[in-house]
Amino acid sequence: MRKLLILSTGTIEDTLLQKIAAADWEIYWADEVGLARTLLTEHKFEVGLGVLFQCEPERSIQWLADLILARRKMQWVMALSRQCIDRKQLSNLIIERCYDYHTLPVDAQRLVVTLGHAYGMSTLSENTFRQQNDLESQYGMIGNSTVMQALFRGIQKAAEVDVPVLITGESGTGKEQTARSIHDYSARAVSPFMVMNCAALAPNLIQSELFGHEKGAFNGANERHIGLMEAADGGTLFLDEIGDLAPELQANLLRFLEEKKIRRVGGTKPIPCDVRLIAATNTNLEQSVQEGRFREDLYYRLNVLHLRTPALRERKADVELLARHFFAKFSAETRTSAKGFSRDALEVINRYDWPGNVRDLMNRIRRAVLLSEGPYIIPTDLELERRTDIREFVTLDEARMAADRDVIQATLLRTRFNIARAAQELGVSRMTLYRLMEKYDIRRDSM
């Protein structure tokens, strides 16, 4: 039986309750915040009904508004007087959080139908959210854009074979997460995953850090040190910023790839190491090879499999998904008054180019969650201007066409090109959707 939570500021007629119960609803009723919170803790409700017989004084209804705002996953229906609808606080609450509303006195039959539709919408939303999560979240990364789906397929292939991998991409695009995912889904997952940033250490320190050293090998070497290569034996070594590796260390790394053996600094005995190398760079290694700054033979040894992590500006359809993911993550970790993003905030989030990529987006959302003082995050909380620079002038028609094309593409990707489902989500007929796809040159093989 479906469960319905009724929050009311007064007594509800028995005849109305009986008609609701007759429609297969198990009713729970609360007229104050303590009881309401207890019921919400002890039961799982998909639908809630808020009944406001009067809206004065404001503090007498604040508890009800707070509970509705806090339970974002529930579908809420409001029943209230005409005078209450005119109150800005309540009208905003209905617009932002409610599935529907009725004016008092309510038509019982219409209300029962509305509650049934709200329950259906809650169930549909939950199933859609679960399906989208399966599609949008893979290998610890969020995205259902074409470029991210290609990356996910590349990770799967790389995890199935035991060869070196080269990952290229701008800073903040998830190169280390990609490498870690390859390791976690490979046969080496039970063994160590070690990380070294080749740009963070001086060449003489990298030699010791990577290959280890013997006691007395140099001043300060008071004991034997096991390097990352030995520590990762049986597992994976991730070398970030490989393009900054010094020439002499490039030679040592090439020798390891050829012999699968290392020598500690100050040592003479070769030590076998069963390690898979995954390297990453945000520079153009081919150009570095042409300029003589990176060994060509090492480049080809590392570049057996090549994966590219896309910049955020190349996956605009994923920006809002990521923003909402990070908001949910950080709002769960800290006390915040924010319930989500304002429309203006979402506008600038989607328009901004994100030169710092996912890392930049994540840091701004974390800061906004901590600093926001209102019910919704606004552009100033993100430290983004209300209007970001537009690189070229466009007409309104061009802007609308670009927006329509993006929405259609995102919906088709989300529904895995199920035309009937996509048309239903977009609120158009299948024939209209086909015409729009032809108009905007949207084809499955081009996405």
pLDDT of 444 above 90: no
Domain co-membership, 170 together with 219: yes
What's the confidence (pLDDT) of residue 445? 56
Residues 6+ apart with CB under 8 A from 220: none
> 389-441 pLDDT, tens per residue?
444 445 666 667 777 777 888 788 777 788 888 888 888 888 788 878 877 77
Domain co-membership, 154 together with 111: no
pLDDT of 24 above 80: yes
388 in a domain, yes or no? no
Tell which residue, 442, 398, 440, 380, has the closest CA to residue 417.
442
387 in a domain, yes or no? no
Is 433 within 8 Å of 419 (Cβ atoms)?
A: yes
Domain co-membership, 207 together with 319: no
Which has more pLDDT, 73 or 180?
Answer: 180
> 167-217 pLDDT, tens per residue?
999 999 999 999 999 999 999 998 999 999 998 887 778 888 899 888 877
Place of tokens 């290229």: 168
Mean pLDDT of the chain: 85
- Cis before 105? omega within 30: yes
Domain co-membership, 332 together with 205: no
Domain co-membership, 160 together with 297: yes
Contacts of residues 360-366 at CB distance under 8 Å and 24 or more positions apart, as own/partner, are 360/172, 360/312, 361/312, 361/319, 361/322, 361/323, 361/326, 362/322, 362/326, 365/323, 365/326, 365/327, 365/330, 366/326, 366/330
Amino acid at 128: T
280 in a domain, yes or no? yes
What's the confidence (pLDDT) of residue 102? 93
Is 364 within 8 Å of 328 (Cβ atoms)?
A: no
390 in a domain, yes or no? no
Tell which residue, 111, 118, 112, 235, has the closest CA to residue 180.
235
Which has more pLDDT, 220 or 236?
Answer: 236
Last residue of some domain: 88, 113, 134? Answer: 134
391 in a domain, yes or no? no
Count of structural domains within the chain: 4
Domain co-membership, 115 together with 217: no
> 76-124 pLDDT, tens per residue?
999 998 888 888 878 888 887 888 999 999 999 999 999 999 998 887 7
Which has more pLDDT, 17 or 121?
Answer: 17
In angstroms, the CA 349 to CA 262 distance is 48
| Domain of residue 213, CATH code | 3.40.50.300
235 in a domain, yes or no? yes
Domain co-membership, 276 together with 318: no
Alpha helices in 32-162 (DSSP H): 33-42, 59-70, 82-85, 88-97, 108-136, 146-160
Contacts of residues 85-90 at CB distance under 8 Å and 24 or more positions apart, as own/partner, are 87/55, 89/58, 89/65, 90/52, 90/55, 90/61, 90/65
Tokens of 191: 């063994």
> 259-301 pLDDT, tens per residue?
999 988 888 889 999 999 999 999 999 999 999 999 999 999 9
Is 349 within 8 Å of 391 (Cβ atoms)?
A: no
Domain co-membership, 295 together with 173: yes
Is 358 within 8 Å of 145 (Cβ atoms)?
A: no
Amino acid at 314: E
Q: Average of pLDDT values for 357-371?
A: 91
Percent of the chain predicted with pLDDT > 90: 42
pLDDT of 69 above 70: yes
Q: What are the angstrom distances between the C-alpha of 318 and each of 59, 135, 359, 396?
A: 40, 12, 14, 24
> 372-389 pLDDT, tens per residue?
888 889 898 898 864 444
| Domain of residue 6, CATH code | 3.40.50.2300
Tell which residue, 84, 82, 52, has the closest CA to residue 67.
52
What's the confidence (pLDDT) of residue 441? 75
What's the confidence (pLDDT) of residue 135? 44
Domain co-membership, 367 together with 287: no
Q: Average of pLDDT values for 321-325?
A: 89
Tell which residue, 99, 121, 72, has the closest CA to residue 375.
72
Tokens of 444: 């499955």
389 in a domain, yes or no? no
In angstroms, the CA 217 to CA 359 distance is 40
In angstroms, the CA 121 to CA 119 distance is 5
| Domain of residue 369, CATH code | 1.10.8.60
Domain co-membership, 276 together with 323: no
> How much is the CA Rg of the chain, to the nearest whole Å?
29
> 32-58 pLDDT, tens per residue?
888 988 888 788 899 999 998 887 777
What's the confidence (pLDDT) of residue 389? 45
Is 91 within 8 Å of 70 (Cβ atoms)?
A: no
What's the confidence (pLDDT) of residue 392? 44
In angstroms, the CA 99 to CA 80 distance is 14
Tokens of 221: 């070497």
Domain co-membership, 85 together with 220: no
Which has more pLDDT, 387 or 324?
Answer: 324
Domain co-membership, 114 together with 164: no
363 in a domain, yes or no? yes
Angle between helices 175-184 and 146-160 (to 10 degrees): 40
pLDDT of 14 above 50: yes
Last residue of some domain: 249, 283, 308? Answer: 308
Tokens of 404: 């329509």
> 121-152 pLDDT, tens per residue?
887 766 554 544 444 568 888 888 889 989 99
Which has more pLDDT, 339 or 306?
Answer: 306
Last residue of some domain: 134, 168, 191? Answer: 134
| Domain of residue 404, CATH code | 1.10.10.60
What's the confidence (pLDDT) of residue 337? 73
Domain that holds residue 322: 313-382
- Cis before 57? omega within 30: yes
What's the confidence (pLDDT) of residue 390? 41
What's the confidence (pLDDT) of residue 397? 63
Instruction: Name the DSSP letter for residue 294.
Output: S
